[in-house]
Structure 1
Amino acid sequence: MFSGMIRLVALGTFAAALLSSPAFAAGGGGGGGGGGSISSTDPYAGAYSDQKPQPTYPKRPGTKATQKGKKPGNQSSIGDPAFAAGYRAAYDTIYERNDYAAAIAQLKSLGHDDHPNVANLIGYSYRKLGDYEQSKVWYERALQADPNHVLTWQYYGLWQLERGNREQALYHLGRIASICGTDCEEYRSLAAALDKPTGTALVY
């Protein structure tokens, strides 16, 4: 009986040590870029849409992290409340007031131009202003930061349609399908735009 108690104490000590280890506390080794898309740890992922945007910052379900091109300290600073407030203000400037020039200034002042969500919104704002060259620069900057940033593929696909590049827009649609499938909002939005007759004015 005494030896049984010793075994129980030893087992309890081992379990306590395991639970307090950094690897276990951090949630193990999950994540990674297999099949990649929006970062599941990014509170701003999926925060906007070219349709009717939601004024919140939901996480995109069922996605894995892709951190390519991001600087080591970027993620912690992105979670800073000051950044979140500034991002939200720029988001509202775009979708509530349609003041794209002011939104560009707000987004650039955040100091995270290489974050794909920020770069994508800057590109969107330039597109809405009719500055397609600057819009292209920022969409490509977003994709350089995260090649699997599905929202940029959607927005850039709409850019391609507006420029008359239907084949390129179809390529973007294929990229979206490879990232999030054909049921995600980004795929459905771009597919609907592609179904419209050539020359139809887009409201996105």
Structure 2
Amino acid sequence: MFPQQTARAAGGGGGGGGGAGSGELYGSSYSTPAPAYPQEKDRKTTHRVKKPAKQSSFDDPAFRDGYRAAYATIYERNDYAAAIEQLHALGRDDQPNVANLIGYSYRKLGDYKQSQVWYERALKADPNHVLTWNYYGLWQIEQGNRDAAQYHLSRIAEICGTSCDEYRSLAAALEKPPGTSLVY
């Protein structure tokens, strides 16, 4: 890592949040980290180089429209298989919101192995993606891994505190007796 990038890399990422319950389509704290560019140490320039503007996938109208359609397919129509196809068609599987919704859809279809793969992919892309920590925590509860779900809850608390929707949702699920059906 180059010295100029150390401070940027050490800081936390944005996170995702919100989801169906908050009324926010993309989450309350969506962010995409700025791209890091290597710096050449001994090269001097006589002019200022303009850095590219920070862009989000959501700045692309085609992506935004496709994401909204997949989101509606999941949360309004509960057609998880179709949503997975729509999300893959966006061509941005490593975007944390996309990977998280693919994981959520696989979980709702009962494919826990694929769901886990996609939740971990979302967290690799953004370790502070709050909604993924929430959904993956619910996945842990459904698998009987209450200690792991408790860890996910602690990560959510570190990222957005104990009053955010994601924290309250997972905390409420953890308060239910083991084996209780979760409704979310």
TM-score normalised per structure 1 = 0.71
Q: What residue is the counterpart of 1:168 in the other structure?
A: 148
Count of residue pairs the alignment pairs up: 163
Distance 1:33 1:179, change over 3 A: farther
For each residue in 1:52-105, what CA deviation from the matched residue of structure 2 results, as whole angstroms up to 9, or x when unmatched? 352634643xx8x5628x798994444101100000000000011000000000
Shift of residue 48 of structure 1?
1.8
The more displaced of 75-84 and 164-173 is 75-84
Query: Where does 1:105-184 land on structure 2 (aligned, <5 Å)?
Result: 105-184=85-164
1:84 aligns with 2:64: yes
Q: What residue is the counterpart of 1:18 in the other structure?
A: none
1:48 aligns with 2:19: yes
2:116, 2:174 → 1: CA distance? 19
2:28, 2:150 → 1: CA distance? 26
Structure 2: any 5+ residue segments left out of the alignment?
A: 1-7, 38-51
Shift of residue 203 of structure 1?
1.3
Q: What residue is the counterpart of 2:12 in the other structure?
A: 36
**SS state of the match for residue 133, structure 1?**
helix
Are the aligned partners of 1:119 and 1:141 in contact in 2 as well (CA < 8 Å)? yes
Distance 1:136 1:71, change over 3 A: farther
For each residue in 1:160-192, what CA deviation from the matched residue of structure 2 results, as whole angstroms up to 9, or x when unmatched? 000000000000000111111111111000000
Q: What residue is the counterpart of 1:93 in the other structure?
A: 73
Distance 1:58 1:120, change over 3 A: closer
Q: Percent identity?
A: 67
Are the aligned partners of 1:37 and 1:179 in contact in 2 as well (CA < 8 Å)? no
Are the aligned partners of 1:37 and 1:180 in contact in 2 as well (CA < 8 Å)? no
What one-letter code is carried by the residue in structure 2 that aligns with 1:194? L
Distance 1:101 1:194, change over 3 A: same
Q: Find the structure with the greater CA-based Rg.
A: 1
Q: What residue is the counterpart of 2:177 in the other structure?
A: 197
Structure 1: any 5+ residue segments left out of the alignment?
A: 1-31, 40-44
Shift of residue 47 of structure 1?
5.4
TM-score normalised per structure 2 = 0.78
Structural RMSD (CA): 2.7
Are the aligned partners of 1:113 and 1:119 in contact in 2 as well (CA < 8 Å)? yes
